[in-house]
Chain A
Amino acid sequence: MKLDLLRDKLGFRPLVILEDRTIDICSVYAGDRMSDLLAAASGSTLLVTHLTNHGIVRLIDLMDVPALCFLNGVHPDQDVLYSAKENETFLFTSPYDMYETCGRLFQLLNQH
């Protein structure tokens, strides 16, 4: 599944504008515990989380996360945006809550 589908089909808002790299996403992991996110991070995993604080900066810095999605339309802190730009990580925010976001992602991932 290509990342731009998230914007086009699901209406997730991109938060950083990056050169279009067509990253392929093979799996999605949703969670709010940093240890779990660290363990789940990989080059082809989209992470979905409520966390928006500085811990996320480290997650982006350290783990080469290709893309992250926040929930309920929430925007992360400024330093998260900086760090995402620097590490070329796509950030989205989904208008839905975690349950619905994951449901929609699941459907989309199965179609593509």
Chain B
Amino acid sequence: MHAIVAEIEGGDYQGAGKGSKDIKEILRKVGVDANTIRRAIIAVYEGEMNVAIHAYNGVLRAAITPDALEVIITDTGPGIPDIEQAMREGFSTAPPEARELGFGAGMGLPNIRRNTDRFSLDSTPGKGTTLHFSVFLEPGVLERVNASAITIKQEKCIKCLRCLNACPTQAIRIRAEGPEILRHLCIDCTVCMDVCPQGVFDMDCADDPPPAPGSGILIAPDALFGQFGPAIPRSAVREQLQELGWHEHLYIQHAETALFQAASDFALNEKTAGLGFIPVCPAVLNLIQLRYPSLIPYVLPFLSPMESIRDRLLTGLAVFVPSCPAQSALVRDCGILSPSTRLHPRNLAKSLLPRLQWSRTGTVSDDTVSEPPPCLIITGMRRVCQFLDKAERGLTEDCVLTALYACENGCYGSPVWETPPAVAMFRAKSGGGIIRDERLGPLYRIKPLVPRAGVRLDTDMVKAMKKLREIDRSCKQLPGRDCGVCGAPTCMTLAEDAVMGRAVLDACIFRNNSPGHESGAAKETDR
């Protein structure tokens, strides 16, 4: 890793740009391709000028690894009161002397957005602004960063096919060695974890060594409080966390409430009429990107709670306890400048359990989640898909603010927890007092969600059409029973796998062995 630090003075239009120049030299030396250097430099320079024009002073910190250029620019200054407005092209509050120099035309932040792969902006009016962005230097980094966080212990599989039938995106195939997940289709929804009787699936932070307590700020899910039986109040759990050495903890549920509040203000204040999704569950966002891209515009422009916290805790070590693989994937790679680790919720619960065997009361001041404003809440993958199917056809326009969770009863229902979701929720919510912490407020989503190319057969449309026809033809040769014995969830998916070179049609036992496969084909065409 190569690190660069540069200071930027407010009003110093000449000095700004030094950091960009250094970074450019290094990127050149490392041999990054010219177009990527160009994008990176535009972003960094606009970031530096942004400080020179608007702030009192600021610091640019950059790190370069073979994968990415990561930049954090923090400034003290007046801050940005309305980020959505600031991101609009042409909106500017720059002083005249900056405009004379050709700056301050309201293109700076949009220009950064356009030229970066990740970009978040955190601003407190009256205090200052932090820009955080990355430019990926290699193709394929984005896929790696977004990859699903489900792990598989193939040897435990008994081939009961439950996961195969349950996966909502048909991402699972059962091979001779056990299940395989087609990662481009997986949305980290935890359904497979939930249905598997053997515990084959888990989330990928299981094997991380638990970080030394006390070494950072702990970000934990609320469901933790519901795991220790009826006689253990919330405050007792928090007290034990402190005794374990976690002096500072934040809870994702608080951030969720803040998001609900912000979403409801947003909906009230103008901008949305009709359907609006509160981006609360990252798995649901993945699902919308993959299967319902036409609904992307209905997702309100905020980051999900885990992402907001991640982007607000850029300095100091953060230890995340994600509730599910979807959250885990979000904090797997926070970049090099913002050190963070993950801790499996099961491990955390395990280390607390012996300390909470008996009934006890806590002495630390209590906190609880304030009631979020009313909105429609739909939980569980089956119901979520059902709702989205309807929404796609325009049948849910009356559901103004809607929060969708992949797990039943929201994050309390993640399969990592043992206590029944409703019970965990009930226990976690009893308490008094309200926590207000500005680090928990939702951040504006600057890089809009984009459709995921998962189901696309080919980047070339003509070739894709050809493959589609081939799939159709192959499918007619299959019996249409969708039995799953071949290892694919449906006959159609086997046909698709065969055309895409992931399987052979001969995997179907009926197609080869039974003389009835002709009649099977007839049945398929009847349908």
Contact = CB atoms under 8 A, between A and B. Distances in A.
Given A32-B102, A35-B46, A42-B38, 12 more contacts: A33-B105, A34-B49, A35-B105, A39-B42, A39-B114, A43-B34, A51-B101, A51-B102, A55-B101, A61-B17, A62-B41, A62-B45
A34 B101 contact: yes
B153 interface: no
Interface in B8-56: 13-14, 16-17, 20-21, 24, 34, 38, 41-42, 45-46, 49
9 contacts: A32-B102, A33-B103, A34-B102, A34-B103, A36-B105, A58-B21, A61-B17, A64-B34, A64-B38
Contacts of A33: 102-103, 105, 107
Contacts of A51: 101-102
B128 interface: no
A54 interface: yes
A60 B60 CA distance: 21
B13 A35 contact: no
Contacts of A63: 38, 41-42
Nearest to A58: B17
Nearest to B49: A34
Size bracket, chain A contacts: 20 to 34
A38 B24 CA distance: 14
Contacts of B107: 33, 35-36, 39
A41 interface: yes
Interface of B: 13-14, 16-17, 20-21, 24, 34, 38, 41-42, 45-46, 49, 101-103, 105, 107-108, 111, 114
Nearest to A42: B38
Contact of B21 (A35, A53, A62): A62
A15 to B, nearest CB: 19
Nearest to A36: B107
Given A33-B105, A51-B102, A55-B103, A38 B14 contact: no
Given A35-B111, A39-B111, A41-B38, A58 B45 contact: yes
Contacts of B24: 61-62
A62 B16 CA distance: 12
Given A41-B38, A61-B21, A54 B13 contact: yes
A91 interface: no
B38 A55 contact: no
A69 interface: no
List of 8 A-B pairs having minimum Cβ-Cβ separation, nearest first: A35-B107, A34-B102, A58-B17, A33-B105, A51-B102, A54-B14, A38-B42, A35-B111
A68 interface: no
A56 to B, nearest CB: 8
A67 interface: no
Contacts of B41: 62-63
A37 interface: yes
B338 to A, nearest CB: 26
A55 to B, nearest CB: 5
Contacts of B34: 43, 64
A26 to B, nearest CB: 15
A34 B114 CA distance: 15
B101 A38 contact: no
A49 B102 CA distance: 10
B20 A55 contact: no
Nearest to B111: A35
Given A34-B49, A35-B108, A43-B34, A62 B103 contact: no
Contacts of B46: 35, 38
Nearest to A53: B101
Interface in A59-84: 61-64
A33 B49 CA distance: 13
A38 B17 CA distance: 13
Contacts of A38: 42, 45-46, 111
B313 to A, nearest CB: 30
Q: From B102, B107, B111, B114, name the one whose CB has the most chain A CB atoms within 10 angstroms.
A: B102
A39 B38 CA distance: 9
B87 to A, nearest CB: 13
A43 to B, nearest CB: 7
A61 B24 CA distance: 9
A5 to B, nearest CB: 25
Nearest to B46: A35
Nearest to A32: B102
A103 to B, nearest CB: 23
Nearest to A51: B102
A61 B14 CA distance: 12
A45 to B, nearest CB: 11
A51 B111 CA distance: 19
Contacts of B101: 34, 51, 53-55
Contacts of A55: 13, 101-103
B45 A37 contact: no
Interface in A1-54: 32-39, 41-43, 49, 51, 53-54
Contacts of B45: 38, 58, 62
A50 to B, nearest CB: 8
A43 B34 CA distance: 9
B11 to A, nearest CB: 13
Contacts of A39: 42, 107, 111, 114
A74 B107 CA distance: 26
A73 B260 CA distance: 59
Nearest to B110: A35
Nearest to B21: A61
A80 to B, nearest CB: 12
Contacts of A35: 46, 103, 105, 107-108, 111
Contacts of A58: 16-17, 20-21, 45
B92 to A, nearest CB: 10
Nearest to A50: B102
A38 B34 CA distance: 14
